[in-house]
Amino acid sequence: MEPTTEQRRCESFRNYLRPARFPATIDSSKSRSEKETTVYRFLEHTAQLELEIEAGSFEELLAEATRAFAELVAPGSRGVPAHRTVEIARDDEKTIVADWLSELVYLAETDSFVPRRLLACERTPDRISVKLAGFLDAPRPLIKAITYDGLELSESSRGLWQAKVTLDI
């Protein structure tokens, strides 16, 4: 039986859905007895991807979300180096995570900017400002929107931050 268009589309994403592990790049002020590794992975869903992120601090969580986004829209490519600053005015950390990814989608669509890493992060109770390093390229327009449906964010008793975000593709 011939696969459907949706099955072929999902199959094309399978290469991007493998778990990835990267060492944390932003130091957390919290002390830990053993070195933790930040983690993100994509989970399949019809017309959606679910992104799960784990990190040792909220800032590391944003850094992992940035790396996951870059891997999805421009894996392995390099363009002209560029910097951007993103500011989000929210008092809810869960909403900041969704708005953060929405800003990355916006920058990719409007400026062709692909973020690679966080250079600086300033956070107050009602605002976050982040300076990003990345490059200008032709990112793939895979992500239509970030949804609030199923949005989760928690901090464990050990200080490990976990987020789950749904991406409409």
pLDDT digits (tens, 9 = 90+) for 114-128: 999 999 999 988 899
pLDDT band at 3 (very low <50, low <70, confident <90, very high): low
Type of residue numbered 65: A
CA dihedral 60, 63, 65, 69 (to 10 degrees): -170
Q: How far apart are CA 89 and CA 110, in angstroms?
A: 21
For residue 138, the tally of other CB atoms under 10 A from its CB is: 12
**Which carries the bigger pLDDT value, residue 86 or residue 38?**
86
Helix segments in 14-137, DSSP class H: 58-73, 93-111
168, 160 in Cβ contact below 8 A?
no
pLDDT at 31 over 50: no
Nearest to 100 by CA among 142, 64, 75, 137: 64
pLDDT at 43 over 80: no
CATH class, range 5-168: alpha beta
Give residue limits of the domains in the chain: 5-168
The pTM score is 0.73
